[in-house]
Amino acid sequence: MKEIIKDEFGPEYVINIYDPKLKMEGFLVIDNTVLGPGKGGIRMTENVTPEEVFRLARTMTFKNALADLPFGGAKAGIVWKGGSDELKKQFIQSFAKSIKLLTPKKYIAAPDVYTGEKEMQWFVEATGDWRSATGKPATYCMRAFGKKGERCGIPHEYGSTGFGVAKTAEAAAEILGINIEGAKVAIHGFGNVGTFAYKFLTEMGAKVIVLADHEAAIYEENGFDHKLISEIIKDRKTLKHYPHGQKIPAEKFWEIETDILIPASITNVINESNKNKIKTRLIVEAGNIPMSEETEKEFFKKGIPVVPDFIANAGGVISSYAEYRGYNPKRMMETIEKKITKNVKIIMKKSIKEKKDPRDVGLEIAINRITKKHGNN
């Protein structure tokens, strides 16, 4: 098991929480607050550990710095073996009350694995501070202090992460000389991120020719029937219900030649078994850690740049920032487009000029922003 690394960045706080009455066990790691309060989601899984939470918090430190947000990095975990909604609410609110003194000055919560808008509302109700979590329901509003109108939640279900992935693909493609209009795209994973990436890329004129989820992989040479796919998304059905196209074995997905490949599914989905079969011009990591860093470097050496996860899927955390500032959904999307496009172009141009892979360039920029602010404090 990887250990918690103590270095020049942090972690500033590693907190273990236990509620003997509920037998609720949780962890909060606030890695770095040089740029602002630590920002990161709460995951509820059976096997979550402080070490896992630390690794995720460190990723958030760099993701927020690279997105040019006034947030540091943090993450939380609650050991959750399952149970009723009522018990889950008790766990969330017990955890929230235990760290209340740190929110929102040092930590701001957000959705993650097995937590969503409902859980964020519970969290905020327990802390009594609207700003202590983002990703709240759109119907959960409060009066803006000292201003007209009210602020409402912006749940991630608006598609902010998928929109950011699409804008990442568009910006990176432009730098590489790939015309997004007509570009052949493959998307592996068709959950919240993959479906919205599909939607927005299709609206840009890209031609999605192969899709895969946990039940089916489908090749559609001339692009998918957008109306039928929209109905599948709306009805929350899986891709096996798509009536057209060529159903292909799951492993054949990686052999289809494309301009842009978007892994939006599970960790290490690109690995030794399929990495040498991939024929594409650009990979945009929508999911978290879809391949190892060594594999990313192999693709770069082959002339296939990989836009890493902490750059490509930053739309979610930018959405969190927009909610924190009290923006409406329209302004939130505009903020994502502006920040993602700017950062991706800076990274891709620097990558090409200095012959460094995009992950190294992105980390270098993030670290420079943190150390520069640290030096000014």
Span 138-149, pLDDT tens digits? 999 886 555 566
Q: Which two three-digit tokens encode residue 213?
A: 């989820």
80 membership: H or E segment, kind and range: none
H runs (alpha helix) in 81-225? 85-98, 117-127, 160-176, 192-203
CATH number, domain containing residue 86: 3.40.50.10860
Strands 72-79 and 38-39: parallel
22 inside domain: yes
Q: What total of structural domains would you count in the chain?
A: 2
Tell me: the pLDDT tens digits for 270-279? 999 999 999 9
188 & 142 share domain: no
Q: Which residues pair with 29 in a beta bridge?
A: 14, 75
Residue 230 lies in a domain: yes
Residues 175 and 305 in one domain: yes
**153, 173, 201 - which closes a domain:** 153
124/178 same-domain check: no
Among the listed residues 228, 266, 232, the one whose alpha carbon sits nearest the alpha carbon of residue 244: 228
| Whether residues 84 and 201 fall in one domain | no
| pLDDT recorded at residue 373 | 79
Domain end, chosen from 111, 129, 153, is at 153
- Looking at every residue in the chain, the average pLDDT score rounds to 94
Q: 352 and 233: one domain? A: yes
370 within a domain of the structure (yes/no): no
Based on the fold, state whether residues 92 and 32 are members of the same structural domain.
yes
Flag whether 377 is in a domain: no
Q: Which domain holds residue 101?
A: 13-60+73-153
CA 247 to CA 330: how far, in whole Å?
A: 37
Q: Which of 75, 118, 184, 207 is catalytic?
A: 75
- How far is Cα 301 from Cα 86, in angstroms, rounded to an integer? 52
Taking the CA atoms of 264, 107, 32 and 317 in sequence, report the sign of the dihedral they define: positive
- The pTM for the full model equals 0.89
Distance CA 224, CA 276 (A): 26
Same domain, 212 and 278: yes
Dihedral sign for Cα atoms in the order 17, 21, 24, 25: positive
- Residue 221: give its domain's CATH number: 3.40.50.720
My answer on whether 220 and 110 are in the same domain is no
Q: What is the pLDDT of residues 363-377, one digit of tens each?
A: 999 999 999 876 665
Q: In this structure, are residues 111 and 119 in contact, taking their beta carbons and an 8 Å threshold? A: yes
Note if 75 is an active site residue.
Answer: yes
pLDDT in tens, 200-251: 999 999 999 999 999 999 999 999 999 999 999 999 899 999 999 999 999 9
**Arithmetic mean of pLDDT, 312-334:** 92
Same domain, 203 and 128: no
**Residue 1 binned pLDDT confidence (cut-offs 50, 70, 90):** very low
